[in-house]
Amino acid sequence: MADQYTEEQWQQSGEPDLPREPEGQNQPEAEAQRDGQNQPDGQNQAEGDAAHSDPGPQLTDERDPDLEEDDITETVVDQDEQLAERARRQARLRLGSAISTTSLVDMARQAREEAKLSSRSLDESPLPEGRFADRELSWLAFNERVLEQAEDQDLPILERAWFLAIFASNLDEFFMVRVAGLKRRIAMGVAVPSASGLSPRQMLDGIIERAQDLMARHANVFLKDVQPKLADVGIDILHWEDLPDGETGRLRKFFKKQIFPVLTPLAVDPAHPFPYISGLSLNLAVVLRNPKTGKNLFARIKIPELLPRFIAVDAEGRPYKPEDVPVDVEGRTKYVPLEEVIGAHLDQLFPGMEVLEYYNFRVTRNEDLEVEEDDAENLLTALEKELVRRRFGPAVRLEVEKKMSSNVRKILVRELGVRQDDVFELPAPLDLTGLNVVHDLDRPNLKYPRYVPVTSYGLAEVESAKPRDVFEAIRRHDILLHHPYESFSTSVQQFIAQAADDPKVLAIKQTLYRTSGDSPIIDALIRAARAGKQVLAVVEIKARFDEQANIDWARKLEHAGVHVVYGIVGLKTHCKLCLVVRQEAEGLRRYCHVGTGNYNPKTARGYEDLGLLTCDRDVGQDLTRLFNQLSGYAPQAKFHRLLVAPTGIRAGLVDRIEREIVNKKAGKDAWVKLKSNALVDEKTIDALYRASQAGVPVDIQVRGICGLRPGIPGLSDKIRVRSILGRFLEHSRIYAFCNDGDTDVFIGSADLMHRNLDRRIEALIRITDSKMIETLVDMLDVACADTTSSWHLEPDGWVRHHLSPKGRPLQDIQELLMRQARSRVASGRLS
């Protein structure tokens, strides 16, 4: 039987009476995490709490009168050194490296001197250690840039709330996947130092420290800045006790009708073990007293996930849809957090009990998937089983309300099996991903000005309500698409829909990585199959967090007669390809789309992506060969205009970087310009370092992670790195090389990461049209220009540059591209 507190122990400790977990029933991963703390045998929880709450050395003006002057001086020096060391540590965390910038500069200088002495060129010398930034800490720096968007006083207030929600959602996924994976490797003893030189434990400690700071800053931005400014424009996010009587009456009706019937209060006592807490669920920890026995008890309530996080209700107690929330007679909209509505009615959930206290808490669990494809007879079935297991992954983060009592916190830490370092104390409300509900308000004056995508000029020189014959337009010339400035629905979506309905089309082959729940793309493929066309869908059911949706769509496609395959064992299919085979008077013609983004009409309105529509013979052959690889056996396929991973992209890009080095040394024009979501691959980074050493200018636009350290004399002083965040998510990939004036440009699906280059089927297509090449290179030049608003990666970390020396806003490239798209439409109408 589980151990219990006696009444005397309870009176002394103030901790609720609940069972302790019997030995041997903890999850193995949780045990390993606890074992990894290296605590002495017998160290109790109170000692752990004391260690956690110890603020460390504190500066004080008080001096011990018994201290000699020399002792005082030594103490001050020690404190100064501690502060300096902390500052150095913080700087290394921001850089994500075990090597400081000063040390790296010294090593690069030494390499230059050794190269001179040995009469070698610098780019042929050994590269210094510490030249890579840590992947995980670089990602946290990216999410800090998202947070800086929320802090930007010039952005509309609802967009600032939206960036707070994005920050929170990003961090949830980071802990579920990256931190969870690192913890698992440490626990299993298979973790290795990163390319940055940080040990696994240093990485984990650095992540936790940075995450603690960023999450506290995130909560502070909401409470002290965004929430008051929302109130200034009539959007009130209130506590229950701040609500007027009329509002509480509405919410009491809402609780009675909509919330009370679905709540399940779970007692924790000898007859009721501590319940399983699902990942990312918001919960209430409730302390109760039985008035008859005087005994204190513990209970947990899960906040319903299907209800809006912030509630606004009408006079009948019905919740509004976000887009329908009205303003009252005073011109205000009032919300209250759902958990506070539940907390105000706990007496109805525990009748006859005294509610002493309740607190919010939230758990993040390991939700990464592991499917051994070689051993899976049916990948679909194996993945479905793994999705069930995902729900029960070990806890990796515990968020608790700051005012939570130490006794309740001890219970949660013990029962969830987390380390003290994994506890994040935050002011309520927790889980600000719910601010999406507030952002959905129909208040256009508080958001970015509305933008309606235009039809690509290559598909319709004049805007028209009648769809253009896409095949006729493609036969005239290749078409470069740029979403969301140009419409996805009137281009890619129309291309696939016309192919499905055209009796001359014989076959459609398409990759699907992520798509929306009501996808017209899926519907078009089903129509085509039912019309007797040959339809192949390569569905990536392992697309993270879209696995279940993709399984559902795969089954729906199969039932409609579509040939559904899941790519190549051990490799994710991430390329964005569509091939349409059409019978024409001259014979069969192949129409192709190669893109940088998913076939998802919803995200296409918010993601910046590129695509190419072409009927070029070489591209048609390339796509035919690649689809044959994906659906059959064709390991020796060769390509004309495609670079294909995992065998061809890294080698192809590095070869082109090395060609620029050769050209530079020969006195020819040379440069490299890249745009990617992430730059982590060490071989590619080293090639870029050597290009810089040879004097080749390198411009890089990267949205997220960057493992390269620019601006180091003799190593990377010819490299500039920029990051752009804005209303649209920068998602396209462009790789451009001078090639002595015969510019080589590729677009496609691959980022410069190990997973993309080694563990995925990716495709880059070479652009051959001179006007398209000029357009893409100009776009890279504008993005990296000092006159464009962006973040610059400098030797000591990321710095935002959005104002000119005179304090004027710098050019916003996304606004520029919107204006240019609209002007093309206007000029077409005028002509």
Cβ proximity of 470 and 500 under 8 Å: no
CA 615 – CA 476 distance, rounded (Å):
9
Q: Element (H or E) spanning 419, and its range?
A: none
Among candidates 458, 464, 522, which has minimal Cα distance to 493? 522
The full length of the chain comes to: 831
Question: Which residue bears the tokens 């030049």?
Answer: 781
- Of the residues 574, 731, 792, 802, only one is catalytic, namely 574
Give the SS3 label for residue 396. strand
Taking Cα atoms as reference points, which of 751, 791, 706, 676 lies closest to residue 146?
Answer: 791
Burial of 26 (0-12, 13-18, 19+ CB in 10 A): middle
Q: How far is CA 709 from CA 96, 114, 777, in A?
A: 10, 21, 23
What's the one-letter identity of residue 386?
E
Whether residue 731 lies in the annotated active site:
no
Is there a contact between 266 and 300 (Cβ–Cβ < 8 Å)?
yes
Q: Can you tell me the distance from the alpha carbon of 620 to that of 241, in angstroms, rounded to the nearest whole number?
A: 66
Q: Which two tokens stand for residue 694?
A: 């040879």
Other CB atoms within 10 Å distance of the CB of residue 13: 13
Rounded CA gap, 542 and 787, in Å? 41
513, 543 in Cβ contact below 8 A? Answer: yes
Report d(CA 442, CA 477) in Å as an integer: 41
* Separation of alpha carbons 474 and 494, rounded Å: 13
Which DSSP letter does residue 634 get?
Answer: -
Token pair of 819, please?
């204006």
Q: Which of 266, 255, 271, 283 is nearest to 348 (CA)?
A: 255
What CA–CA distance (Å, rounded) separates 317 from 255? 8
Residues in Cβ contact with 141 at an 8 Å cutoff, skipping those fewer than 6 apart:
94, 96, 797, 798
Cis before 16 (ω within 30): no
The catalytic site residues sit at 574
